[in-house]
């Protein structure tokens, strides 16, 4: 089909996508086993020298597909403006290869009862940890994504399986309630679907401490953030505002800062889908670009944005492997993958010890970004007092961090040596286009506006 289309047009490609999996959840009164909504289909992309055209199919009637694509090719040819120049799309170097993520225990071959028993074990550990626990939800899930990309130079396929294990705990003292969660998401098999009992006990202890937490007085604080907080800061600081489809629409202030200092010189940040074990990893993106690491910040300098094929072509930027679709029936956008601050040279203990009067933040929950103004907001459940370089028993909740991205990042004075990448999050483009990604980093010390 691609060869046939390229007899009429300068470039064509095809992407087949399929996803399937299971989702199990148990709490103290109910158990659910569900199939992840299956998805399977193919999308053809055509380039007429000036514009892209696409059509997607979930019925593999090749005669009907061919007829529709011939109509689309005709429309694409008619849309060429002879008064404007035409350009070519680089199909990339020739490659024919199949890629597979490494599995020890393929979740598709693990009996449902074994998955339920693992979820039940996690649930029991939470329910017996403290009388204040009123309920808990234990989740075990897996998703397998299969992709095949074809253009005139590439025939590449990938099978990537992700496994999730999540625990959410609900507590009450009769007057106040709290909720905390813990878990992991990795491109790996059922072998990783394990939350250690000591982590569940610590989660319950933190949830109980939140029952007596006070509200924080708004102000500017010396702050130490844990890797989860660092990750959401990375995601929001260099989220949609660094996805270059927004550059095309002139909706991202960050474009004005490329090549400029926007952070402390000890700050480095990457987006790297080639970290295949992480939940945001893959071997190639939905536009056939092989995965590689993109350094977004180097020694405090903003280096570049993240591209999809259309924005890279229009803006004459080097491609990065960030063209991603929610499904075969959705448009490709420039999207984040595994986004994280890299390690520095300080231990977490030394970072906390350096703070005379400040707060330690953990249990981050979510965030948001304003690409046009480059402001961010990050929310979490836990701000613990630091006095004289030591943590006290005083905890505040909830906590909200806001700020202008360059101001926030220039205030970073210490970077930990303990980078950790979490895969529990999903990311939408606006209110839709949901994809899996990860965030991470080491402990960071910075100044921040909190409320």
> What is the separation of C-alpha 165 from the centre of its chain, rounded to a whole number of angstroms?
16
Rounded distance between C-alpha atoms, residue 41 and residue 51, angstroms:
23
pLDDT score at 241: 86
**Both 187 and 236 in a single domain?**
no
**Both 130 and 169 in a single domain?**
yes
- Walking along the chain (451 residues) 10 residues at a time, the average pLDDT comes out as 97 98 97 96 98 97 97 98 97 98 96 98 98 98 98 98 98 97 97 97 98 97 98 90 92 95 98 98 98 98 97 96 97 96 97 98 95 95 98 98 97 98 89 92 98 97
pLDDT score at 189: 98
**Both 202 and 270 in a single domain?**
no
pLDDT score at 239: 78
Whole-Å CA distances, 335 to 162, 202, 242, 274: 19, 34, 9, 14
Over residues 167-217, the pLDDT tens digits come to 999 999 999 999 999 999 999 999 999 999 999 999 999 999 999 999 999
**Both 166 and 231 in a single domain?**
no
**Both 158 and 245 in a single domain?**
no
**Both 172 and 248 in a single domain?**
no
Q: Which domain holds residue 406?
A: 219-450
Query: CB neighbours (10 Å) of residue 111?
Result: 8
**Both 66 and 89 in a single domain?**
yes
**Both 298 and 440 in a single domain?**
yes
Q: Is 449 exposed, middle or buried (0-12, 13-18, 19+ CB in 10 A)?
A: middle
The answer to whether 182 and 137 are in contact (CB under 8 A) is: no
Q: What is the pTM of this model?
A: 0.96
Q: State the pairing for strand pair 95-100/154-172.
A: parallel
pLDDT score at 51: 97
**Both 352 and 239 in a single domain?**
yes
Query: CB neighbours (10 Å) of residue 106?
Result: 14
């Amino acid at each position: 089909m691609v060869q046939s289309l390229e007899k009429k047009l300068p470039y064509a490609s095809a992407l087949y996508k399929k996803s399937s999996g299971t989702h199990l959840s148990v709490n103290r009164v109910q158990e659910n086993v569900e199939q992840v909504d299956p998805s399977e289909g193919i999308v053809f992309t055509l380039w007429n020298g000036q514009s892209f055209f696409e059509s997607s199919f979930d019925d593999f009637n090749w005669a009907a597909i061919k007829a529709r694509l011939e109509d689309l090719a005709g429309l694409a040819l008619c849309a060429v403006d002879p008064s404007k120049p035409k350009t070519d799309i680089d199909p990339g170097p020739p490659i024919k290869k199949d890629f597979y993520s490494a599995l020890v225990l393929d979740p598709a071959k693990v009996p449902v009862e074994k998955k339920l028993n693992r979820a039940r074990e996690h649930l029991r550990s939470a329910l017996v940890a403290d009388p204040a626990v009123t309920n808990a939800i234990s989740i075990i899930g897996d998703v397998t994504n299969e992709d095949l990309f074809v253009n005139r130079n590439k025939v590449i396929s990938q099978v990537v399986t992700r496994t999730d294990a999540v625990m959410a705990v609900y507590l009450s003292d009769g007057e106040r309630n709290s909720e905390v969660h813990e878990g992991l998401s990795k491109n790996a098999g059922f072998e990783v679907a394990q939350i250690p009992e000591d982590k569940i006990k610590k989660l319950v202890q933190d949830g109980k401490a939140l029952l007596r937490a006070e509200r924080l007085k708004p102000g500017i604080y010396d702050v130490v953030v844990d890797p989860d907080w660092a990750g959401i800061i990375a995601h929001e600081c260099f989220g949609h505002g660094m996805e270059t489809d927004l550059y095309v629409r002139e909706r991202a202030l960050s474009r004005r800062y490329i090549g400029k200092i926007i952070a402390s010189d000890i700050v480095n940040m990457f987006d790297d889908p080639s970290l295949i074990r992480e939940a945001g990893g893959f071997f190639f993106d939905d536009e056939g670009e092989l995965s590689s690491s993109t350094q977004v910040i180097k020694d405090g300098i903003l280096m570049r944005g993240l591209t999809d094929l259309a924005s890279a072509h229009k803006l004459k930027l080097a491609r990065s492997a960030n063209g991603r679709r929610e499904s075969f029936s959705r448009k490709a956008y420039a999207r984040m993958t595994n986004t994280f601050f890299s390690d520095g040279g300080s231990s977490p203990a030394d970072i906390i010890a350096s703070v005379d009067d400040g707060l330690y933040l953990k249990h981050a929950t979510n965030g948001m970004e304003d690409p046009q103004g480059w402001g961010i907001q990050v929310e979490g459940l836990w701000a613990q007092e630091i006095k004289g370089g030591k943590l006290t028993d005083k905890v505040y909740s909830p906590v909200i961090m806001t700020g202008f991205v360059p101001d926030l990042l220039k205030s970073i004075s210490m970077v930990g040596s303990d980078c950790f990448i979490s895969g529990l999050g999903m990311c939408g483009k606006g209110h839709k286009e949901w994809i899996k990604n990860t965030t991470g980093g080491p402990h960071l010390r910075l100044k921040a506006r909190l409320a």
